[in-house]
Chain A
Amino acid sequence: MKRIFISLMLLATACLVFAQVDRGNVLIKGGTVLTVTKGTLENTDVLVKDGKISQIGKGIATPAGYRVVDATGMFVMPGIIDAHSHAGLDAINEATAPVTAEVFTGDAVNPFQVGLYRALAGGVTAIHAMHGSANAIGGECETVKLRYGVKDPEAMKMEGAPRTIKFALGENPTRVHGSGNGIVPRTRMGVEFVIRESFSQAKAYMEAWDAYNKAKVQKGFRGAPPAYNRRLETLADILKGNIIIHCHSYRADEIYMLLNVCKDFGIKRLVFQHVNEGFKVAPELAAYGAGASVFSDWWAYKFEVYYSTAYNAAILTKNGVTTSINSDDGELMRHLYHEAGKTQKYGQLSDDEALALITINPAKQLGVDNRIGSIEVGKDADIAIFKNHPLSIYTIPMITIVDGVVRFDREKDADDQRIYVDPKQTIDVTLHTATGHDHESCMQGAEYQTARLFGFNLLEK
């Protein structure tokens, strides 16, 4: 698994312009450090210099000017990474065509969404802000660091993170395009066809450009270049291995189908999302080196998601699949540590195995495991501090640090965490309202129709 995700950084770093990012100096003293990759260290200090972990040990002296966080009696773990989220985005689904590889959620990053702060308050430090699952091939996704408080969307992006793209199989793309618009794909066969056809076109496009670029440098060459096409540019980059596929999927047959498609086109970097029937094809996933990012115990919200088990994460893990637990949801993302903890009830995973599901494993799936996902010297200081063990039902997230900057502190948690206040927004007082009624219960089943009526996109999961 590691082999696949190794050295991803090098590919992407060169072409990116970095936004200004705050990096802090902190000494976290006396906590129980859950490194995830290098065991648990009692009564240990973690020194953070310029946003990077510079030293882990006992009795580290406080350098001048460093902020000290007293973690005595608390648990210090790597910041939680959510490999499947749609938070912090102004647009999720370009649901008008079955293939929209050219769009990029990074263009729609919204650093002002308060939900991002709430995720921080659950120990989350990085999320995979994905395109939705309306299309067989959706758009490119953005890996976002929760530097909540910055106003420049570029400063939220994890500089140097590899490119990723959303694919989707099964009911969502067939419903939107097949039943919705009467075009291919109407069936799972159609989805496979759409993906294979897209890759074939991209291959031809890539070859045409290679031929043109070769011919162009010949003396006396005159001719037209192939017509520039962003969709095919992106797809060609997948074929070249520059983009990791994250594919929304549920059923074992469709998962196996995409493995075969990727094999045929020589694509190695592949992560399945949701993958509720992953337990049925766990050995095949492991053999291919494909990752799996699952819910702990969420299913039966549509026909293709009935055959599921809470043992999914454990079965995948024990079969050697790099597995993560994700939220795909603004509420669930606030307690991913509970979600990981469930694998100890359903599958008896060890503490490190369970914590890996929300730290180092999602980091591997996003190609950023050399930067985040564990507490190791040289890594980014993305750290979550908990009172009580994070896998305990009694745990409380206390402090969340991103790049050495404290972005959430339970002791200093203000009531109103909005960064920008809309002066035209009517103010809702949340305390002591007389007629507080629950909208949630009357929304059951209405989401899809509402989406059609008002253009919301709720096709994420």
Chain B
Amino acid sequence: MIDRDLAARLVVAAHRRVRDHREELSRLDSVAGDGDHGVNMATALAEAARRAEQGDHSTPADVMRAAGSAFHETVGGAAGALFGSFFGALAGQLSRSEEPDARQLVAGLEKGLARVARVGKSEPGHKTMIDALAPAVRAARESLDRGDDLEFVMATAARAARRGARATAAMRPSAGRARFAPDHSLGTEDPGANTVALVLESWAEQLSSEVRV
């Protein structure tokens, strides 16, 4: 079961993880972008974490919706819009249940993926966050259908996201700013895909630490 407090802890965990990797994310972004991805994502997640901890949210959906708004309001850019849309779609799905569990979370990840693909008009192979998110969502769905619990589902998703992010190094970009110099970023992983992997890894770790206590 995902309650309001757990949702808040997930947002806080995502912020810590991305903040600790922000220089690395900015460095990846500087190869074909403008070198501020890490700073922007850490800024947005800091605001999301602040809202999660301080806001009077009564449901996990409220927490995720506030996180989405934090992206839309604090950083902008393509990444801000897309991550904001992801959290917004996830919140929409979570709000459909009084007590969301692994099934709602996986359905929420699927909604998030669909929203990001629609808003960003991108597909797998374009060297974007989709290349980490799509395999992660697929792996989460398969894990859930095998009957795995929430912790295991998220760990499976996180591993798939990381593999997906690594695979972007061999891709030529066909979306966003990087597409104007398609060979320039060859050999470098996509920063947005890395952020997806970091967020899902932080969620997997948070869930596994909660099971142990």
A, B: real partners: no
